[in-house]
Amino acid sequence: MKPYTFLCLLFIVFPAVAYDESDLKQLKATNKCVECDLTKANLVGMHLAKANLAEAKLNEASLSKANLSDADLWHADLTWAVLRRTNLSNANLSGASLYGARMWAINLQSANLVGANLIGADLYMADLFDANLSNANMTGAILRDAYLQSANLTGANLSKATFMGAILKGANLAKADLTDADLTGALLRETIFCETTMPDGTINNVGC
């Protein structure tokens, strides 16, 4: 081998597997992987209904079209994860981090997202019917054309969030912070406002 060829090979960067192979095998075999490391794992289309992934590391994981209905993701780290068309209906995501997650057309019907971190998350066309988002941090989140009928958003931080075309019929926005949020074209019929900070900074108590 010529010297310059050897030197070139030294600079070739091979992609490293970020997740723990044994953790992934455990999940596939038992549908349970508490506190496991699945960073950047490819879980696209997997059937993980009722899986126990509490406190799991799933940051930057690919979970598009996976079935995680009724799954336990309590305090899981899904930072920058890709969750397009993922089924998370009835899932427990309380305290989870979904910072910057891409969640187009995700199914979060009746999901528990109490205290979750959704800062900068993209929830375009997400189905959040009857979801519990109380005290969630959704600063700068994109909820364009999202379905939030009957969702619980009490105490949620919704500052600078985009709700263009979103349906918020019957949603509870008591004590929520909508400072600088974009509600253009949003359906707000029967929406509950009480001690709610509106986009212009005024307090709305019409529903108290």
Q: Which stretches within the chain are classed as H helix?
A: 3-10, 21-30
What CA–CA distances, in Å, run from 57 to 2, 123, 154?
44, 21, 28
Q: In order along the chain (208 residues), what is the average pLDDT of each group of 10 residues?
A: 42 55 94 97 97 98 98 98 98 98 98 98 98 98 98 98 98 98 97 98 95
Q: How high is the pLDDT of residue 70?
A: 98
- Return all residues near 38 (Cβ < 8 A) that are at least 6 apart: 19, 20, 23, 24, 27, 53, 56, 57, 58, 61
Find where tokens 């126990």 sit: 52
The whole model's pTM is what? 0.90
Q: How high is the pLDDT of residue 17?
A: 54
Provide the token pair at 43: 């879980």
How far, in Å, CA of 199 to CA of 15, rounded? Answer: 44
